[in-house]
Amino acid sequence: MTETVKVRELAEALKLEIVSGGEEALDRDITTADISRPGLELTGYFNYYSHNRLQLFGSKEVTFSHRMMPEERLMILRRLCADDTPAFVISRGMKVSDEMIQASEENKIAVLRSKVSTSRLLGQISSYLDGRLALRTNVHGVLVDVYGLGVLIQGDSGIGKSETALELIKRGHRLIADDRVDIYKQDELTLIGEPPKILEHLIEIRGIGIIDVMNLFGASAVRGSMQVQLAVYLEAWAKDKKYDRLGSSDEAVTLGEVDIPQIKIPVKTGRNVAIIIEVAAMNFRAKTMGYDATQAFEDRLSQLIEENSNV
């Protein structure tokens, strides 16, 4: 199913002034995050007109159109009004011509306006639409904000993912999503996770049931979305299995076509998994800042071997 955004949703999210447009105009669908600056079209060149995009008028477009004769301006603006044109957006709080209002009202297209500069408004609209229109997939797990790092906790059913998340919340960290995490690509390297609307702020604990984290722990215990930066896989402790004790393995899991670093934590009675995840998050952040404890240990070991070999 193709994602869409209503024009009214865009106007509300970015606090755009509705200069013209009734209910039907505001209910139009925006189906692409691409935005058109119709400079060539104002000169009469419509060969490659992207009529299904938002039409953004900056100072260049508005100034040029104001130089046209009213009849010519109305004719061009009517040609800009296609059946699938979502809306006209004016930046810098500039004056909207009577001909634009007439053409838009004839075709039931909204005219929106912002006081923000054109380039900044373009970025705001693109960012909003990229997030809303991106193809979403869902993964099983719990997404938690640990020291500002988006940690996705995964593992077999019943391993204790939600209980671990609850302990992290009690320790001051924040819940994004429990049980099911909706993910989408913000760009080629950035993966964003958020909760489904029905599960927002909720967490399920076996034996207790569903609890509302925001209601019990306050607004500071939850957040709406988060970049997924580290995946933690909880697995049952196996006596005969060898586990990485140096942290030298570089495993990753592919989610939404983005490779996310992954660590595996064996779970058994007596291990405080929440504290281990906290340390894992801090250690991962240290690595991204250039300090690798494993490499430091290996360097010390190599130096010690070299010193002993010279004796």
Query: Which residues define the annotated binding site for ATP?
Result: 155-162
Please identify which residue in the block is written with the tokens 């949703």. Answer: 9
Task: Please state, in angstroms and rounded to a whole number, the distance separating the CA atoms of residues 70 and 284.
Answer: 62
For 248, list phi and psi in degrees, rounded to 5. -90, -10
Among candidate residues 66, 95, 120, 140, the one labeled active-site is: 140
Catalytic one of 67, 240, 245, 250:
245
Compute the half-sphere exposure of residue 172: CA atoms within 13 Å on the CB side of its CA.
Answer: 4
Where is the binding site, in residues? 155-162, 204
- Return the H-helix or E-strand segment holding 276: helix 273-288
The residue annotated as part of the active site, out of 145, 178, 179, 182, is 179
Cα→Cα distances 57→12, 114, 213, Å: 19, 11, 44
- Distances from the Cα of 51 to the Cα of 18, 41, 93, 96, angstroms: 20, 10, 23, 20
**92 is known as an active-site residue:** no
What count of residues does the chain have? 311
In the residue annotation, 161 being an active-site residue is answered as: yes
Residues annotated within a binding site for Mg(2+): 162, 204
Catalytic entry in 28, 53, 113, 161? 161
Strand (E) positions, the chain?
5-6, 17-20, 29-30, 35-36, 54-57, 87-90, 110-113, 137-140, 142-146, 149-155, 174-177, 180-187, 190-194, 202-205, 209-212, 226-227, 230-236, 251-255, 258-267
- Collapsing DSSP to helix, strand or coil, 184 comes out as strand
So which residues are the catalytic ones? Answer: 140, 161, 179, 245
